[in-house]
Chains A and B, each alone.
Chain A
Amino acid sequence: MSEPRRVLVVVPAWNEEGSIASVLCEISHALPTADVLVVDDFSSDGTAAIARSAGVDVISNVFNLGVGGAMRVGFRYAADRDYDALVQIDADGQHDPAYAPGLLEALNSAPGPALVIGARFDSSEDFPVPRARRWAMRLLAAYLSRLTGCRLTDATSGYRAYNRDAIALFARTYPADYLSDTVESLIIASGAGARISQLSTVMRERAAGMPSQSRARALLYLSRVALMLFLQAIQPRSARRATRAARPAGPTPAFRRATPDQPTAEEKP
């Protein structure tokens, strides 16, 4: 099993100055030949400056786009530059870059989009969660496992590796909605016929920054995911076909319009 040739590590970062330096250092040890791109999602702290001084490529968003928006920038960067594979690693330190080579290896070279999730074996194991939330997460995992045909225990994990066709797919379709991007991207991928697999990893405590574990937030998150699954279930066939059609073999052009609709409005000269 040969490792893909050109690998891009995308690190979406928002106010992670406390952890970004060590994460970047670990990435360079784990994947010495890979290029690293930090997508600074309009941080108000020194995240971008620290990343730049670490010698990696940094793209700064002009306003906060959320993880989904930051990742879409990363996917488009990778698609434009014709990378063979992309690894997504969070900047908060909970993803151990030591697993990244394993994720890349699990991306075998068969054609078609593929992604590998670095997952906790049981996402409720490591930290205490309310019982209702645990059941909801199990239900979600069961549903997604059935949908994707792969046993998934941690669908919300943002530690992932994508092959070239998955990069091309997500450069166009990665969901930008608040919070639900990880789950929704799995649904999009399975709708596009992607091969989805999972690799067990051990997640760490966040090195710094604020965890999003509050009960209200978890509830909001789960209701969003439920609504999204419902919308996916009633999606018209034409939209599904559009996602499937977004599976080009070659590199994607740098400038692509999302929808070729009416010309933009008349401005006063």
Chain B
Amino acid sequence: MSGVHLTVLLSTGAAVAAVVELLRRRHIREKYAVVWLAVCLPMTVFAIDPNLFNRLAHAIGVINPPDLLTVLACLFLLVVCVYMSWELGRLDDRTRRLAEEVALLRRDVGSGH
């Protein structure tokens, strides 16, 4: 096992551990945790046996396996970013509506300053 594979194995292991720990402490929602675990687990498998990934890449016609990894990683991160933008916009809208509600209620309660 070469140094590179050991590094990948250790970092995916650490990532899985971090996600599980966050989940255990309820600092991260299941729906997000599932996504990260779904990425980390195959990565761990491929770190243990890199040949598996090479064969997968060749099977779908990719000549240089790392290219496949790069493209998949970029696509995944793009999807995550777009999803986060959507989520952020929705939260911003809700926060604003709450702030408006609070301002109106605070005036009614009579402590508007």
Contacts and interface: CB of A to CB of B under 8 A. Distances in A.
B58 interface: no
Nearest to A41: B103
B69 to A, nearest CB: 35
A60 B106 contact: yes
A73 B103 contact: yes
Given A59-B103, A80-B104, A48 B113 contact: yes
B107 A65 contact: no
B55 interface: no
B112 A60 contact: yes
B26 interface: yes
A90 B99 CA distance: 21
A235 to B, nearest CB: 16
Contact of A59 (B26, B96, B104): B104
A127 interface: no
Which of B96, B103, B106, B107 has the largest count of A CB atoms less than 10 A from its CB? B103
Contacts of A5: none
B100 A72 contact: yes
B67 interface: no
Nearest to A176: B96
Given A48-B113, A58-B112, A268-B26, A77 B104 contact: yes
A62 interface: yes
A126 interface: no
A62 B112 contact: no
Contacts of A80: 104
Contacts of A258: 93-94, 97
Interface residues of A, number: 23
Interface in B26-63: 26, 29
Interface in A67-125: 69, 72-73, 76-77, 80
A61 interface: yes
A63 interface: yes
A63 B95 CA distance: 10
Interface in A150-208: 176
A77 B104 CA distance: 7
A144 to B, nearest CB: 25
30 contacts: A39-B103, A48-B113, A49-B113, A58-B107, A58-B113, A59-B103, A59-B104, A59-B106, A59-B107, A59-B112, A60-B103, A60-B106, A61-B100, A61-B103, A62-B103, A65-B96, A65-B99, A65-B100, A72-B100, A73-B103, A76-B100, A76-B104, A77-B107, A80-B104, A176-B93, A176-B96, A255-B101, A258-B97, A265-B29, A268-B26
Interface of A: 39, 48-49, 52, 57-63, 65, 69, 72-73, 76-77, 80, 176, 255, 258, 265, 268
Given A63-B99, A255-B101, 8 more contacts: A48-B113, A61-B103, A62-B102, A65-B99, A72-B100, A76-B104, A77-B104, A258-B93
